[in-house]
Amino acid sequence: MDNNHWILTAQCPSRLGTIDAVTGLLYNNQHYITELHSFDDSHSNQFFIRAQFRANASFDEVAFRQEFSVKAEQFDMQWQLRATADKPKIVIMVSKFDHCLNDLLYKHRIGQLSIEIPAIISNHPDLESLAQWHGIPYYHLPVSAETKPAQEAKVMQIIKDVDAELVVLARYMQVLSPQLCQHLEGWAINIHHSLLPGFKGAKPYHQAYEKGVKTVGATAHYINDDLDEGPIIAQGIDSVDHAYYPEDLVAKGRDIERVTLSRAVRYHVEQRVFLNGQRTVVFAD
Amino acid sequence: MDNNHWILTAQCPSRLGTIDAVTGLLYNNQHYITELHSFDDSHSNQFFIRAQFRANASFDEVAFRQEFSVKAEQFDMQWQLRATADKPKIVIMVSKFDHCLNDLLYKHRIGQLSIEIPAIISNHPDLESLAQWHGIPYYHLPVSAETKPAQEAKVMQIIKDVDAELVVLARYMQVLSPQLCQHLEGWAINIHHSLLPGFKGAKPYHQAYEKGVKTVGATAHYINDDLDEGPIIAQGIDSVDHAYYPEDLVAKGRDIERVTLSRAVRYHVEQRVFLNGQRTVVFAD
Amino acid sequence: MDNNHWILTAQCPSRLGTIDAVTGLLYNNQHYITELHSFDDSHSNQFFIRAQFRANASFDEVAFRQEFSVKAEQFDMQWQLRATADKPKIVIMVSKFDHCLNDLLYKHRIGQLSIEIPAIISNHPDLESLAQWHGIPYYHLPVSAETKPAQEAKVMQIIKDVDAELVVLARYMQVLSPQLCQHLEGWAINIHHSLLPGFKGAKPYHQAYEKGVKTVGATAHYINDDLDEGPIIAQGIDSVDHAYYPEDLVAKGRDIERVTLSRAVRYHVEQRVFLNGQRTVVFAD
Amino acid sequence: MDNNHWILTAQCPSRLGTIDAVTGLLYNNQHYITELHSFDDSHSNQFFIRAQFRANASFDEVAFRQEFSVKAEQFDMQWQLRATADKPKIVIMVSKFDHCLNDLLYKHRIGQLSIEIPAIISNHPDLESLAQWHGIPYYHLPVSAETKPAQEAKVMQIIKDVDAELVVLARYMQVLSPQLCQHLEGWAINIHHSLLPGFKGAKPYHQAYEKGVKTVGATAHYINDDLDEGPIIAQGIDSVDHAYYPEDLVAKGRDIERVTLSRAVRYHVEQRVFLNGQRTVVFAD
């Protein structure tokens, strides 16, 4: 993707003219739309749009923002503009299981995920050498019931210091405090190893085994203040049978989890995900 | 499948020699095993086996049963022997939605399901002409809160009269009484239009819509006395996105439900399903 | 879907302003866009757009067509406008295997496919009673090497007489003549029982068996003058293993074929499919 | 898996008593079968069996081999016995794309693949540091048309020196000479990035793009002397649409390829794969 490609996203109450507000303005400024998605939700009466465009040679970001903000105000739009070359900064939190981390680092390394990873935070020291090999700072912040407030304060400080705009919980096996959850609401993605809303809470593969399901899965979702209940971004699935003991589900689940989490992270950083109440709109590719 | 093919199934507590009890006896009688599945569950300590065999020319069913029952007693086995040419009798219960019924009838008509359908029971008259075209007796038994005991008594009478060995609830939209559930436990299959244990109860597609899941599915399970909680036989799945309103999920779900239910019925009639506590063992093909 | 909903589709060479040509005009006329898809193909330099809209109360179709045709000419657009209430007329051709026919008829019957079926044409008499039950005229037109030209002439006459705009080859097991293929190019859909381009020609499941594949599938495609080579609309897949003999693949394939064909037909009648050289653009829902 | 677990595999012409030859002998020696799979191929008239068993405390491998070889001779069986604790030695060959290598190394590192990797061979130096981090010797053997015979000789020497029993071509982008193919026939697994037999040869994703398929996939197969034509072990698939340019197919394909290759390698090392002419029998878990 060469320079001068931009992504404009917006959402607002449904109304005549919402699409034209975006497409018309881009056309009038001679910007070439290369990819366009929109969705008008007749249940929530919310409108969502994502336009990827190649700006004309004389593109002036400040002027464009000014011009669009007038339109946006008319339609009560929340909106974002960013260059596709812009790499969002992501902090990854992890404990000991590193199948998701390994996949994110791999996709980051080969450029399949267009992100920066300024920090990996873990409550265990185990994965430091993996982080090191990828040249990424590793913060080992052990946590116990007593130290949790202090530890979370450090977590928040790091996130702030590196100016992260997304936090990814890549199998971080600690329950976050309500305060941290609230702080991260809408800009932190968690991977839960079940097809939510089935098997919330601890040991979902063991729960799935007990129930005797023939399908297992994983769910990537934004966190909110209700455990395993935030808006779902992506789900992955696979078939199993009676011969899968819990440890076999765990093993099979690794590939499902990492693919699902990577996909959700990519959708987020490519500005493809919108919050729509407790649900999401995802303009997948 | 020509004549003289048989299916022998057995289950018992795990123990050394369980497999040999079956394979050795078949070999000693010169019966040719064409398909063999077994599973030794190290969690429940239960053993399951299914052997399909071509009997030798001088096969004597009575003598074989006698001989095997001695072995079976040694191992505390529950077992069944039946000819593959034997067509189980199935009663189908249905309300107004006929996508599952239509599929079962179709597969029955072309021989893909090797069954007899001596009766279709419905609380509505709507599907009589479909049953008629397939040459199958249709029992219209309307039901209300007051008439439920009487209606269910008639249902049970029909099932008994036609000597059915399986009841299929192909979107029968009535909650069965605990008595009927108990009566049918282990030999009635229901299709629930969600990936259980997610979205039990009424209107699962609407629940799924509200939750914003990215995956929908259907579950075929044996009924027991706990609504939507019986042992799972098969599950089917498909991906959806934000643009699916509840009515779209309903439409997409039709293909998932009927394929899932047909598969579960086929597995049952081919003696591929075993109860293992609240779970099943399914020797799928 | 209530009245006054319309679908506008267009395709043209890629150029600045193509989207605005559609969205701007709809906006200026106060028509409310409920669903919008577009694709700008940077390889073929072709642009595709589909807008579904609720027309304002004073919608004048003739005037709209006139106004849009001016725009369309500027952009060298091919375009179509039709009411969503409009049911396309479809002729189904079939031989003896009726799993696809049965599915199309079922979805037609319950309204999941918004079509009219004025004729079913078959080279065998077997499926007449099925057609009859659905109240659809059945034309039995046997065919042999000598009678093929005459038979195909009759086929074309029927298609013309009923004013069909789509022909569906639902397992019609006759090779069409080059003339008929040419005549139907772009408005006839065939289902081939393999994942094209693998296993063209006769007996694809047997070919798949010989090759030992672990995945089978079906392909719905427009026919053109090259057998099994027309633009692909939809493909369906499922996993198999060594224990599937050719007849098992045939049985498993039935569900894949009918779901795939029904989906392709629905996409076509909902104006979601565009030809893009030898490829298609499909705005799936 | 604790000690004293073994896997016995055998294949032979179909005949009465083949199953009993294995299960009877295990029973008579008081070995406990924990997992049993068999397949009697009525087309090729070949029989396949895999028994995993917990040997009794006084297990004598040499005596068991002797006893079984008598049985095996009677049935003309090829057979293998190995302890589950035994880790097969695998040589991985790779060029520059490392998504498959990275996945194999990851699964090796966490013990999901029970193997040893004594050597990674590449015609490029790029992946040396990755190998180093995993503590695995890396052999950089550049190759050109002139040096190919010498390079392949070195490859064979390394394979021999480390006593490898499986070679995995994890996107090794060089065509092997017929001699090397022949040498490796049946004990080298290649990953081809298409659903074979579709899109053999170079640039399969580009071929798939040109054809306009709606499904892409990858195939793991044993190599033989015919390029991309060896017996298939596993295939993986995913759906795509018109918006996937070749580079998008390449990106999506990475996850399909590595999951498919890892699965095939695991099946092979767990002795789950048998050659059956140009096809395979795979006792998947």
Q: Which of D40, D41, D225, D228 is catalytic?
A: D228
Residues of A with CB under 8 A from a CB of C: 16-17, 19-20, 23-24, 26-27, 30, 32-36, 38, 40, 42
Q: Output the pLDDT for position B1.
A: 44
pLDDT for residue A1: 44
Phi, psi dihedral angles at C104 (to 5 degrees): -65, -45
- What is the distance in angstroms between the Cα of B24 and the nearest Cα belonging to chain A? 24
Do the beta carbons of residue B178 and residue B224 sit within 8 Å? no
Identify whether the C-beta of residue D115 lies closer than 8 Å to the C-beta of residue D91.
no
Mean pLDDT of chain D: 96
Q: For residue A98, what are its two tokens?
A: 């590193």
CA distance D21 to A95: 50
Interface of D with B (CB under 8 A): 16-17, 19-20, 23-24, 26-27, 30, 32-36, 38, 40, 42
Partner residue opposite C43 with nearest CB, options D239, D245, D282: D245
User: Where in B14-114 does DSSP place strands (E)?
Assistant: 32-41, 46-54, 78-83, 89-94
Last residue of a domain, one of C34, C50, C83: C83
Phi, psi of B96 (to 5 degrees): -115, -35
Given a cut of 90, is residue C29 above it in pLDDT?
yes
pLDDT at position C1 is 44
Closest Cβ opposite residue C198 in set D195, D233, D239: D195
Give the bridge partners for A116, in sequence order. Answer: A89
Q: Are residues C189 and C65 in the same domain?
A: no
- Which tokens sit at C262? 């029904």
What is the distance between the alpha carbons of residues D24 and C65, in angstroms, rounded to a whole number? Answer: 81
Asked if B78 and B212 sit in the same domain, the reply is no
Write the residue in D43, D195, D233 that is nearest to C195 by C-beta.
D195
- Count of CB atoms within 10 A of residue B16's CB? 14
Say if residue C43 is in the same domain as residue C169. Answer: no
User: Within this chain, do residues D56 and D130 fall inside the same structural domain, yes or no?
Assistant: no
Same domain, C136 and C235: yes
Q: Alpha-carbon Rg of chain B, whole angstroms?
A: 20
Residue B135 DSSP label: T
- pLDDT value for D187: 96
pLDDT tens digits for C161-207?
999 999 999 999 999 999 999 999 999 999 999 999 999 999 999 99
List helix spans (H) across C212-245.
Answer: none
Cβ contact, residue pair A35, C40, below 8 Å? yes
Residue positions of B annotated with a catalytic role? 228
Q: Answer whether B278 sits within 8 Å of A212, measured CB to CB.
A: yes
Residue at C138: amino acid letter: Y
pLDDT, tens digit, 9 for 90 and up, residues C84-111: 999 999 999 999 999 999 999 999 999 9
Boundary-marking domain end, from C83, C106, C124: C83
Q: How confident is the model at residue D229 (pLDDT cuts 50, 70, 90)?
A: confident
| Residue in C35, C106, C129 closest to B102 by CB | C106
Cβ atoms within 10 Å, residue B183: 17
Contact A223, A200 (CB under 8 A): no
Is D111 exposed, middle or buried, given 0-12, 13-18 or 19+ CB atoms closer than 10 A?
A: exposed
Question: Radius of gyration of chain D from Cα atoms?
Answer: 20
Q: Which of B17, B27, B36 sits opposite D17 (nearest CB)?
A: B27
Q: Is A206 left (phi over 0), alpha (psi -120 to 50) or beta?
A: alpha
- pLDDT for the residue numbered C225: 80
pLDDT at D2: 55
Distance of CA A8 to the CA centre of its chain: 18
Residue B154 pairs in a beta bridge with none
Which residues on A lie below 8 Å from C19 (Cβ)?
A: 23, 27, 33, 36
Alpha-carbon gap, residue B284 to D92, rounded angstroms: 35
Verify whether the Cβ–Cβ distance B237 to A237 is below 8 Å: yes
Candidates D48, D207, D214: best to mutate against C (most CBs of C within 10 A) is D214
Contact B36, B54 (CB under 8 A): no
Helix (H, G, I), strand (E, B) or coil at C108: helix
List the catalytic residue out of A40, A41, A225, A228: A228
Check CB contact under 8 Å for A19 and C33.
Answer: yes
> Given an 8 Å threshold on Cβ–Cβ distance, is B282 in contact with A241?
yes
One domain for residues D79 and D104:
no
For an interface test with C, give the residue of B33, B101, B102 to mutate (most C CBs within 10 A): B102
Q: Which segments in chain A show pLDDT lower than 70? A: 1-2
Touching partners of A (3+ C-beta pairs < 8 Å): B, C, D
pLDDT of residue C2: 55
Q: Are residues B46 and B137 in the same domain?
A: no
Domain of D187: which CATH number?
A: 3.40.50.170
Chain A residues whose beta carbon lies within 8 Å of the beta carbon of residue D129:
133
Dihedral angle computed from the Cα positions of residues B253, A227, A102 and B239, in that order, rounded to the nearest 10 degrees: 10
Q: If interface means Cβ-Cβ distance under 8 Å, which residues of chain B face chain C?
A: 35, 98-99, 102, 106, 110, 112, 129, 133, 243-244, 248, 251, 254-255, 259, 285
- pLDDT tens string C222-272: 998 877 789 999 999 999 999 999 999 999 999 999 999 999 999 999 999
Which residues of A are less than 8 Å from B237 in CB distance? 215, 237
Instruction: Taking each helix axis as running N to C, give the angle between helix B204-211 and helix B246-269, from 0 to 180 degrees, rounded to the nearest 10.
Output: 120
Chain A residue numbers touching D251 (CB-CB < 8 A) = 112
Q: In this structure, are D40 and D163 located in the same domain?
A: no
Beta bridge partners of C52: C7, C35
The proportion of chain D whose per-residue pLDDT surpasses 90, expressed as a percent, equals: 96
User: Which CATH number belongs to the domain containing residue D10 in this structure?
Assistant: 3.30.70.260
- What is the model's pLDDT at position C226? 75
How much is the average pLDDT of C199-219?
96
Chains contacting B (3 or more CB pairs within 8 Å): A, C, D
Looking at the structure, tell me whether residues A136 and A176 fall in a common domain.
yes
The shortest CB-CB distance from B243 to any of C243, C244, C285 is to C285
Beta carbons of B112 and C285 less than 8 Å apart: no
Residues C11-15 have a mean pLDDT of 98
pLDDT of residue B226: 75
What residues have CB less than 8 Å from A38, skipping those under 6 apart?
A18, A19, A47, A48, A49, A50, C33, C36
Best D110, D248, D249 member to test A by mutation, with max A CBs in 10 Å, is D110
Cis peptide preceding C197, ω within 30 of 0? yes
How many domains are there within chain C? 2
Average pLDDT over residues D20-47: 97
Task: Return the pLDDT at D235.
Answer: 98
SS3 A234: strand
Name chain D contacts of A110, Cβ cutoff 8 Å. Answer: 98-99
Residue with tokens 């507590």: B13
3-state helix, strand, coil in chain B (%, to 5): 35, 30, 35
Adjacent-strand bridge partners of A81: A8
Please give the torsion angle defined by the CA atoms of residues D80, D81, D82 and D88, in that order, rounded to the nearest 10 degrees.
Answer: -10
Residue D66 has pLDDT above 80, yes or no: yes
Any catalytic annotation for residue D40? Answer: no
Residues D122 and D64 in one domain: no
Cα–Cα distance, A104 to A68 (Å, whole number) = 35
* Per-residue pLDDT tens digits of chain B, which is 285 residues long: 457 999 999 999 999 999 999 999 999 999 999 999 999 999 999 999 999 999 999 999 999 999 999 999 999 999 999 999 999 999 999 999 999 999 999 999 999 999 999 999 999 999 999 999 999 999 999 999 999 999 999 999 999 999 999 999 999 999 999 999 999 999 999 999 999 999 999 999 999 999 999 999 999 999 988 777 899 999 999 999 999 999 999 999 999 999 999 999 999 999 999 999 999 999 998
Cβ of D251 within 8 Å of Cβ of A112? The answer is: yes
Mind spelling out the 3-state secondary structure of C246-263? Answer: HHHHHHHHHHHHHHHHHH
- Pairwise CA distance, residues C115 & C129, whole Å: 21
Predicted confidence at residue A267, as pLDDT, reads 98
Domain range holding C191? Answer: 89-282
Distance CA C64, CA C84 (A): 16
3 state DSSP class of A209: helix
Which pLDDT score, from 0 to 100, does residue D225 have? 80
**Domain match, C140 and C173 both:** yes
pLDDT for res C229: 84
- Cβ–Cβ below 8 Å for A40 and C19: no
Which positions in chain B touch A241 (Cβ < 8 Å)? 282, 284
**Hey, are the CB atoms on B33 and D24 less than 8 Å from each other?**
no
Structural domain ending residue among the three candidates C52, C83, C114: C83
State whether A16 and C24 contact (CB < 8 Å): no
| CB atoms D110 and A99 under 8 Å | yes
Please give the Cα distance from A225 to A229 (Å, whole number). Answer: 8
| pLDDT in the model for residue B282 | 98
CB pairs under 8 A between A and B: 91
Q: Indicate if B136 and B260 belong to the same structural domain.
A: yes
Q: Do C279 and D242 touch (CB under 8 A)?
A: yes
Q: Tell me the CB-side half-sphere exposure of residue D189, using CA atoms within 13 A.
A: 33
Among C22, C12, C1, smallest CA distance to C64 is for C22
Phi/psi for C69 (5° steps) reads -65, -25
Specify the amino acid at residue D16. Answer: L
